[in-house]
Amino acid sequence: MPDTLLTGRILAYDRSPFDGDPAEAARLHEALVIADGHVAALGPRADLRAAYPGAVHRDMGERLITAGFIDAHAHYPQTAIIASWGKRLIDWLTTYTFPEEARFADPTYADEVAHRYLDLTLAHGTTTTVSYCTIHPGSVTAFFEAARARGLRAVAGKTCMDRNAPDDLRDTAQSAYDDSKRLLQAWHGVDRLGYAITPRFAPTSTPEQLEALGALWAEYPDCLMQTHLAEQPDEVAWVASLFPAARDYLDTYEAHGLLGARGLYGHAIHLAPRERARLAEVGAALIHCPTSNTFIGSGLFDLAARVAEDCRVGLATDTGGGSSFSMLRTMAAAYEIGQISGTALHPAQLLWLATAGSAQALHLGDRIGTIAPGMEADLVTLDLASTPAIAQRADRAGDIWSALFPTIMMGDDRAIAQVWVAGRPVT
């Protein structure tokens, strides 16, 4: 495949916009070169045209080119139940989630939904997803095969539950360990895929299962581990009743070897001071799921406070508890929650959370999440005038951030002009 010279308005971060003036955290460039699926060069258009005379030129005009969006917490098996009405967390699971996840015993159905999910997310500019699967090993295989067919970087794991779930959705401590290990050995590190050890959350795992999965993580410490933490107050109370000896919710994981720097803890809204301190101390990642937190009525994640405590934070849709497949909508919800919490997030911070911030949460910041030489060429081209309402607002913009902000707040899949996966245009 020949090199590609891509021209337009290319936004590349030099640092985190949470450190110093957010508006100065990134710069606009005129051109980049894609070679062998990676960004080979970044700079002035004339210089790169001269340096790469054989490159195929694609001109994006005034459109904005950013790193592809990274969804750090999703449930692809909940694709078909997104936007289901009227339930909070525990009722959501029993009414909608568990009946739908039972259908994934059928490998054909798992394959169908995996392909549908990745087509939907790609249409919204998401180039990397971290997904929970179901207890069925075939659901993991279906997701990885669908991601691999598209050349995507993706992380997923078999959801493990051995109590407080329907009979047809329970495994055991031993089978959870054995199935997860087989899947990990089959898929982790294959092409652009990674495995995440996945206890759903403490209420659906016995101490024996948590211990077994902690042992598996100790055997494969380069894997990620994903779970849920302190999403709703009644969940926190439930965990306290199930684990009376635990100091707090986080301790149910820590005591069983499931707290570490490569841990991804979804929601993490209702944390005690000890929990916040320990998460920051070990360098674990908290995954902010703003549309889900409001849709299911979980509460407001205080992003500014967690960043101030040096917690690593990623951003996620939490499909299907989250009400959108779009990371643009997710950024907008994060902004709205920040406003309620007293902190107006800058557009640079919102976009960074959906790209470089999530990449760092996944320990993939050296590969994806920003545009720089050597990085994988997962890219999104945004039309900053995709609808009349957005266009009339963007026309008044004085800088790139005020031009981008209307798309963050009002944009949808119509704003996604082009998606590139490992240097290949796919939409």
Location of each CATH 3.20.20.140 domain in the chain: 69-325
367-398: per-residue pLDDT in tens? 999 999 999 999 999 999 999 999 999 999 99
Fold of 4-67+369-425: Urease, subunit C; domain 1 (2.30.40)
278-333: per-residue pLDDT in tens? 999 999 999 999 999 999 999 999 999 999 999 999 999 999 999 999 999 999 99
DSSP-assigned letters across all residues of 11-29: EEESS-TTSS-GGGSEEEE
Report the C-alpha gap between 137 and 147 in whole angstroms. Answer: 16
Which of the four pLDDT bands, split at 50, 70 and 90, describes residue 160?
very high
34 close to 6: Cβ distance less than 8 angstroms: yes
Q: How far is CA 227 from CA 158, 174, 267, in A?
A: 11, 19, 9
- Asked if pLDDT for residue 247 goes beyond 80, the answer is yes
Location of each CATH 2.30.40.10 domain in the chain: 4-67+369-425
57-98: per-residue pLDDT in tens? 999 999 999 999 999 999 999 999 999 998 888 898 999 999
Q: Is 292 helix (H, G, I), strand (E, B) or coil?
A: helix
User: What does the block give as tokens for 133?
Assistant: 């699967």
Residue from 57, 53, 54, 68 nearest 8 by CA? 57
- Asked if pLDDT for residue 427 goes beyond 90, the answer is no
37-64: per-residue pLDDT in tens? 999 999 999 999 999 999 999 999 999 9
Residue from 206, 196, 167 nearest 75 by CA? 196
The residue assigned the tokens 């909940």 is 78
73 close to 318: Cβ distance less than 8 angstroms: yes
**φ, ψ for residue 27 (rounded to 5)?**
-130, 155
Q: What is the pLDDT of residue 422?
A: 98
- How long, in residues, is the chain? 427
Mean pLDDT of the chain: 97
List, in order, residues 6 or more apart from 100 with CB less than 8 Å away. Answer: 77, 78, 80, 81
Q: What is the pLDDT of residue 1?
A: 75
Which amino acid is present at 159?
T
- Asked if pLDDT for residue 105 goes beyond 90, the answer is yes
The yes/no answer on whether domain 69-325 falls in CATH 3.20.20.140 is yes
